[in-house]
Chains A and B, each alone.
Chain A
Amino acid sequence: MSEKIKKLEQAVDKKLTVAEAYAMRPRHWLLYTLIVLIVVGLAGWSSTTMKFEGMTVTGSEVAKGIISGITHPDLALMFGTGDTGVPYLLLQTMAIAVLGTIFGAILAIPFAFLASTNIMSKPVAYLFRVLILLIRTIPSLVWALMWIRVTGPGAACGVITQSVCSIGMISKMYITAIEDLDTRILESLDAMGCTAFQKIRYGVIPQLTASFISTTIYRFDINLKDATTLGIVGAGGIGASLVQCLNSRRWAMVGSFVWGLMVLVLIIEFLSTRVRKKLAQGK
């Protein structure tokens, strides 16, 4: 390598000819080939476990059923007002996400401050980071299965599961906000004669609220989607009914659940993006 540099320096000294410059071109192709080889190798290695055995006997029937369900949803269920109707179940799913997100957002605050390197000493901060990582790694479904032992099946299990699962991501984003704090404001408050408490109230909190709220709304978006999944293990919401109908092949009902879910998630995603954009730019 150093020999190459020496050569290059000499070349610069005596004015490079085109041919010489060409000879010294960087050779990226080796790196690129290596990357491609690795990716292809990984793909080949991972496809060894894939056993494609064609469709199951009922496979085509299932596919047809789903298509017919989506094109001909069960309208009575879709607009039904009872406990089993789509509107009620969607509302319940939303209720799970609302409470789960708010509890999670509150629980994440102490975690975030304890894991910020500009507030706590490094060992403490890293200890809490590992803890946050642990919470994040356990899949939400597993959390739900554990909490169900405490709350019993139902929406309450969904709420507590989401509260815990949200801590991981929310505190990770809080930490970024805390570590980006502008400390110069504290200096000017100091010069004005503020106490430590006054400095936190008027120097730190105003800087954090907007980004904390924005994070919480973003997480609500995710939790809403996640809440539909939790139903599968019996944690309330629309998921349970959806999976039941899928397993018992009542396609029209599947169709109405899927429609309800899609519309709700799309609306919430749209609203959340808009509100967050407004928060970032200022009202």
Chain B
Amino acid sequence: MISFEHVYKTYPNGFTALKDINLNIEQGEFVAIIGLSGAGKSTILRCINRMHDVTRGTLTVDGVDVNTLKGKELRRYRRNVGMIFQSFNLVSRSTALKNVLTADVPDMDFFRVLCGIFSKEQKMRALESLDKVGILDKAYTRCDQMSGGQQQRVALARTLNQNPKIILADEPVASLDPITARQVMQDFVRINKEYNISILLNIHHIDLALQYCDRVIGVRAGEIVFDGPAKTITQEQIDFVYNGTKAPTMGDGE
């Protein structure tokens, strides 16, 4: 369970990104965070795995106060929290399998890390992760030869391979075309249901969020202005989250 209690975040330049955030997310929920650019969506995600520090308030994940973690403990904690990025962040010159294997690196001893020696079990597990996202046949293909959707799946497989309890996804479909975006969203749904992994994702496309996610959190200028099931949100509430401007959609891709 992730819980935010009166969380504030102020950047060194004085900009207050989060104001008094209170939030509880149970294990296995599939949550979409919506809002304008700069509203604080990314900051919420990045506080959860401590890529950013919280300025005030407490953030606990499964009873652990995230802000107190340091060094080794922090790295061990991050093993349980997978993160996915808009730009995939893969080593494009390496094969898909090698990218997925990097998820095992933090648990290996120095010598194995240095020489890049992976055991057979590790390789098989990595191949299984690739199979889970349906791109087993691309295991030995270099990432720069794959489409955007395939690359995002490699990134998803890499995250699955670290066996996380929570997956944070920062605009995972923003650089994909409508059809691929839907496929990747379906992958997320499947993983969420089959493995009971909590998924939090930032998303710009309101239609995708409403279609695939269970719960929607609307963020506006650093404050939560909507929190409820995706089914119950009304057009007025969406307009309020987006400050009266029109909410972006992916359109009808199919």
Query: Do A's and B's CB atoms come within 8 Å in the complex?
Result: yes
Contact A188 B98 (CB under 8 A): no
Number of interface residues of A (CB under 8 A): 23
Question: Whose C-beta in chain A lies nearest to the C-beta of B71?
Answer: A195
Question: Whose C-beta in chain A lies nearest to the C-beta of B49?
Answer: A191
How far apart are the CA atoms of A206 and B91 in the complex, in Å?
A: 7
Residue-wise interface mask of A (178-199) relative to B, using a CB-CB cutoff of 8 A (1 in contact, 0 not)? 0000101101111111110110
Given A184-B89, A191-B83, 16 further pairs, Cβ under 8 A: A188-B83, A188-B85, A189-B102, A189-B105, A191-B51, A191-B81, A193-B106, A194-B105, A194-B106, A195-B75, A195-B106, A201-B105, A206-B93, A206-B94, A210-B93, A282-B142
A69, CB-defined interface residue at 8 Å: no
Q: Which of A182, A192, A197, A201 contacts B162 (CB 8 A)?
A: A192
B144, CB-defined interface residue at 8 Å: yes
Question: What's the minimum C-beta distance from B136 to chain A, rounded to whole angstroms?
Answer: 19
Contact B85 A194 (CB under 8 A): no
Contact of A203 with B91 at beta-carbon distance under 8 Å, contacts A191-B51, A198-B113 already known: yes
How far apart are the CA atoms of A90 and B162 in the complex, in Å?
A: 53
B60, CB-defined interface residue at 8 Å: no
B residues whose Cβ falls under 8 Å from a Cβ of A:
49, 51, 74-79, 81-83, 85, 87, 89-94, 98, 102-103, 105-106, 110, 113-114, 116, 142, 144-145, 155, 162, 168
A207, CB-defined interface residue at 8 Å: yes
Contact A193 B78 (CB under 8 A): yes
Contact of A192 with B79 at beta-carbon distance under 8 Å, contacts A202-B105, A282-B142 already known: yes
Contact of A198 with B91 at beta-carbon distance under 8 Å, contacts A188-B85, A191-B83 already known: no
Contact of A198 with B106 at beta-carbon distance under 8 Å, contacts A184-B85, A192-B162, A282-B142 already known: yes
Contact of A185 with B91 at beta-carbon distance under 8 Å, contacts A192-B106, A282-B142 already known: yes
Contact of A187 with B89 at beta-carbon distance under 8 Å, contacts A193-B76, A193-B106, A282-B142 already known: yes
How far apart are the CA atoms of A182 and B87 in the complex, in Å?
A: 11
Question: Whose C-beta in chain B lies nearest to the C-beta of A186?
Answer: B89
Q: Please, which residues of chain B bring their CB within 8 A of the CB of A184?
A: 85, 87, 89
Contact A182 B103 (CB under 8 A): no
Question: Whose C-beta in chain B lies nearest to the C-beta of A210?
Answer: B93
Contact A282 B105 (CB under 8 A): no
How far apart are the CA atoms of A197 and B112 in the complex, in Å?
A: 12
How far apart are the CA atoms of A82 and B72 in the complex, in Å?
A: 64
Nearest 5 pairs of A and B residues by beta carbon: A193-B78, A193-B75, A188-B89, A191-B83, A282-B142
How far apart are the CA atoms of A283 and B78 in the complex, in Å?
A: 34
Across the A-B interface, how many residue pairs have beta carbons closer than 8 Å? 75
Q: Please, which residues of chain B bring their CB within 8 A of the CB of A282?
A: 93, 142, 144-145
Q: Please, which residues of chain B bring their CB within 8 A of the CB of A207?
A: 91-93
How far apart are the CA atoms of A182 and B94 in the complex, in Å?
A: 13
Contact B89 A185 (CB under 8 A): yes
Q: Please, which residues of chain B bring their CB within 8 A of the CB of A194?
A: 75, 102, 105-106
How far apart are the CA atoms of A162 and B116 in the complex, in Å?
A: 32
Question: What's the minimum C-beta distance from A211 to chain B, rounded to whole angstroms?
Answer: 8
Question: Whose C-beta in chain B lies nearest to the C-beta of A204?
Answer: B91
Contact A192 B102 (CB under 8 A): yes
Question: What's the minimum C-beta distance from A214 to chain B, rounded to whole angstroms?
Answer: 11
Q: Please, which residues of chain A bring their CB within 8 A of the CB of B79?
A: 192-193
Question: What's the minimum C-beta distance from B221 to chain A, rounded to whole angstroms?
Answer: 25
How far apart are the CA atoms of A261 and B167 in the complex, in Å?
A: 61
Question: What's the minimum C-beta distance from A186 to chain B, rounded to whole angstroms?
Answer: 8
Question: Whose C-beta in chain B lies nearest to the C-beta of A187?
Answer: B89
How far apart are the CA atoms of A117 and B49 in the complex, in Å?
A: 30
Question: Whose C-beta in chain A lies nearest to the C-beta of B145?
Answer: A282
How far apart are the CA atoms of A250 and B239 in the complex, in Å?
A: 91
Question: Whose C-beta in chain B lies nearest to the C-beta of A189?
Answer: B102
Which of A194, A198, A202, A207 is the most central at the interface, judged by chain B CB atoms within 10 Å of its CB? A202
Q: Which of A187, A195, A209, A283 contacts B85 (CB 8 A)?
A: A187
Contact of A206 with B98 at beta-carbon distance under 8 Å, contacts A192-B103, A282-B93 already known: yes
Q: Could you show 13 A-B contacts with beta carbons less than 8 Å apart?
A: A182-B89, A182-B92, A185-B90, A189-B102, A191-B49, A191-B81, A191-B82, A192-B105, A194-B75, A194-B105, A194-B106, A201-B113, A282-B142
Q: Please, which residues of chain B bring their CB within 8 A of the CB of A203?
A: 91
Q: Please, which residues of chain B bring their CB within 8 A of the CB of A201?
A: 105, 113-114, 116
Question: What's the minimum C-beta distance from B139 to chain A, rounded to whole angstroms?
Answer: 14
Question: Whose C-beta in chain B lies nearest to the C-beta of A197?
Answer: B113
How far apart are the CA atoms of A198 and B78 in the complex, in Å?
A: 15
